[in-house]
Amino acid sequence: MQATCVAISIVPGNRRVDHIYQADKTSLQRNHLRISYQMALSRYRSLVGLERISWVTWGITIVTVAIWCFTASQAAVGAGAHTLLAIITDIAQNAITVQDKDNNALADVLLTYGAKDNGLILQGQYWRFVMPIFLHVNLLHVGLNMLNFVVLGVFLERLLGHARLLLIYLITGIISIITSCIFTPQDISVGASGAIFGLVGAYCMFVLLHRHAFRNGGVPALLWLVFIIGLNLGIGLFIPNVDNYAHIGGLLAGFLLGWWFTPLYKPALSPSSAEDTAFVDMHSLARRWPLALVTVVGTFVLAACVVHYMGR
């Protein structure tokens, strides 16, 4: 009886110890996530010189705007404008809505310089999986996309670094074009919005991974991001000629790449002392370059499979 009583009295104690241990472990993990979140946000402050500048974001923006200026002027010339004033006037007239008289000339120019067109892709013009990301229809189109990209890109480039931002932007942009090829094969598509949705998806995954660093488990922040995504996708349902399939494809690709490559700092024992704890980014490209290589190769394989599917 005494032995039985002792056994009974010990078990609750073990349970209490296990509960305390689990609570301490959970608290420690949440504290590590808070540290990871703060380190990711403040990483760029330790950089110097050009490393602190979001040159990938600004470079993509400048190139995209320059390409639009060129294609817009070429479309104006194709529509019959032959002087500088006439070209500027034509571009201004099409700034918000493309005029019917200029629609064919603009379509011809965009097709010439790389718009997504399934028929031309099947002819071997595979560069059309990339080039549509840098083409835009008119001033409103390029202005809204680049405004969103600069606001989001500068922040994310500080968070991710130059290489990871470029990787996520290009891969999600290409996958958005692949998605468009599958679900809207009859449409000609251009625009960076699929890649921008990809960046939004990557940031959503960063917030999800660090949700315990936010108030209320990150639920308000995640709900706000869901609202923003839903609002933008909803707008696409009411505005004509918006390729929502490309947006969804870029967004889903962004979720996946965000899970793989957005910063996640975890503690590692310092070689000098077991008591000192250093935090390292487990998702850095220096550590995950094999996965980055697989991602790039996998994207090309996916494009090849889609081309094969379209050619059946």
Name the active-site residue from 247, 270, 273, 308.
247
The two tokens of residue 158 are: 């500080």
Q: Token match 């996946």: residue?
A: 256
Provide CATH code, domain 49-310. 1.20.1540.10
Distance CA(198)–CA(253), nearest Å, equals 6
User: Of 151, 301, 183, nearest to 249 (Cα)?
Assistant: 183
Could you tell me if 84 and 92 are in contact, meaning their C-beta atoms sit under 8 angstroms apart? no
pLDDT at 294: 97
CA 103 to chain centroid: 30
Number of residues assigned to the chain: 312
User: Of 157, 128, 132, nearest to 54 (Cα)?
Assistant: 157
The reply to whether 162 belongs to the active site is no
The SS3 assignment for 270 reads: strand
Supply the pTM of this predicted model. 0.87
Domain extents in the chain: 49-310
Instruction: Tell me the chain's radius of gyration from C-alpha atoms.
Output: 25
The reply to whether 193 belongs to the active site is yes
pLDDT at 212: 85
274: Cβ–Cβ under 8 A, 6 or more apart, which residues? none
pLDDT at 254: 97
Name the active-site residue from 141, 193, 210, 283.
193
Beta strands in the chain (DSSP E): 265-270, 273-281
pLDDT at 143: 95
User: Of 188, 200, 294, 290, nearest to 247 (Cα)?
Assistant: 200
Cα–Cα distances in Å, from 252 out to 53, 111, 136, 239, 285? Answer: 28, 27, 22, 22, 21
Per-residue pLDDT of the chain (312 residues; tens, 9 = 90+): 444 343 333 334 455 545 544 556 677 778 888 888 888 888 888 888 888 899 999 999 999 999 999 999 999 999 999 899 999 999 999 999 888 888 999 999 999 999 999 999 999 999 999 999 999 999 999 999 999 999 999 999 999 999 999 999 999 999 999 999 999 999 999 999 999 999 999 999 999 999 888 888 888 888 988 998 888 888 888 887 889 999 999 999 999 999 999 999 988 765 444 445 688 999 999 999 999 999 999 999 999 999 998 887
The SS3 assignment for 1 reads: coil
Dihedral of CA atoms 156, 160, 163, 167 in degrees, nearest 10, equals: -70
Dihedral sign of CA atoms 194, 197, 202, 205 in order: negative
